[in-house]
Structure 1
Amino acid sequence: MDMKQLRSFVEVARLRQFTEAANRVHLSQPAVSTQIRALERELGVDLLERTTKRVTLTEKGELFYSYALRMLELEQTALERLSDSMGQMITLGASTIPSSYLLPPILSGYRSENAGCFFRVLQSDSHTAVSQVLDGTVDFSVVGEVPDNSALTIREICRDQLLIVTPVNEHYMTLKHHTPSLQQLFQEPVILRESGSGTQKNFDRFLERHHIHKEDLHVAACANDLEAIRKMIVSGMGISMMSACSVRDLAGSGQVLVYQMHEDISRHFYIVWQKRRSLTDSERNFIGYLEKNVPR
Structure 2
Amino acid sequence: MKILQLEYFITVVKQNSFTKAADLLHISQPSLTASIKKLEDELGYQLLTRTTKAVKITEKGTLFYHYATELVQQYHQTVEKMYDLSFSQTPKITISLLESTSQWMSTVIQQHRQQYDEQHYKVNEVLGLQDAVNMLLNYDAHIAITNEEIRHEDVTSIPLYEEEYFLLAPMGQFNTKSISIKDLPLILPNQHYQVRKHLDDYFVRLDVRPNIVMEVDRFEAATNFVHRGMGFAVIPRFYYQSYSTAHLDALRIRPKISRTIHLNYLKKRKHVARVLSLIELCQHYWMFE
1:185-234 Cα offsets, whole Å, 9 max, x none, are 3xx2x2221222121111111111111125xx2x3322213322221111
1:41-93 Cα offsets, whole Å, 9 max, x none, are 8598969999969999x986996698468525632552244224363421122
Are 2:137 and 1:137 equivalent residues in the alignment?
no
Q: Which amino acid aligns with 1:119?
A: Y
Percent identity for Structure 1 against Structure 2: 17
What is the match of residue 219 of structure 2? Answer: 226
Rg: which structure is higher? 2
Structure 2 CA distance for aligned equivalents of residues 50 and 266 of structure 1: 58
Structure 2 CA distance for aligned equivalents of residues 61 and 145 of structure 1: 36
The 1:251/1:30 distance shift into structure 2, 3 A limit, reads same
Partner secondary structure for residue 260 of structure 1: strand
> Where in structure 2 are the equivalents of 1:30-109 lying within 5 Å?
38=39, 67=70, 71=74, 74-85=77-88, 87-98=90-101, 100-109=102-111
Structure 1 CA distance for aligned equivalents of residues 51 and 284 of structure 2: 53
What is the match of residue 280 of structure 1? Answer: 272
Q: Which amino acid aligns with 2:203?
A: L
The 1:220/1:152 distance shift into structure 2, 3 A limit, reads same
Partners of 2:178 and 2:251 within 8 A in 1: no
Q: Which amino acid aligns with 1:142?
A: I
Q: Return 225-234 or 66-75, whichever deviates more.
A: 66-75
Q: Return 144-153 or 17-26, whichever deviates more.
A: 17-26
**Which of residues 237, 241, 255 in structure 2 aligns to 1:244?**
237
Are 2:183 and 1:184 equivalent residues in the alignment?
yes
Partners of 1:162 and 1:243 within 8 A in 2: yes
What's the TM-score once normalised by structure 2's chain length?
A: 0.76
What is the match of residue 201 of structure 1? Answer: 197
Partners of 1:251 and 1:257 within 8 A in 2: no
The 1:204/1:6 distance shift into structure 2, 3 A limit, reads farther
The 1:177/1:93 distance shift into structure 2, 3 A limit, reads closer
The 1:234/1:123 distance shift into structure 2, 3 A limit, reads same
Structure 1 CA distance for aligned equivalents of residues 35 and 233 of structure 2: 45
* Number of residue-to-residue matches in the alignment: 283
Partners of 2:16 and 2:55 within 8 A in 1: yes
The 1:88/1:136 distance shift into structure 2, 3 A limit, reads closer
Partners of 2:182 and 2:209 within 8 A in 1: no
What's the TM-score once normalised by structure 1's chain length?
A: 0.74
Structure 2 CA distance for aligned equivalents of residues 51 and 107 of structure 1: 56
Partners of 2:158 and 2:264 within 8 A in 1: yes
Listed as ranges, the gaps of 5+ residues in structure 1 are: none
The 1:20/1:236 distance shift into structure 2, 3 A limit, reads farther
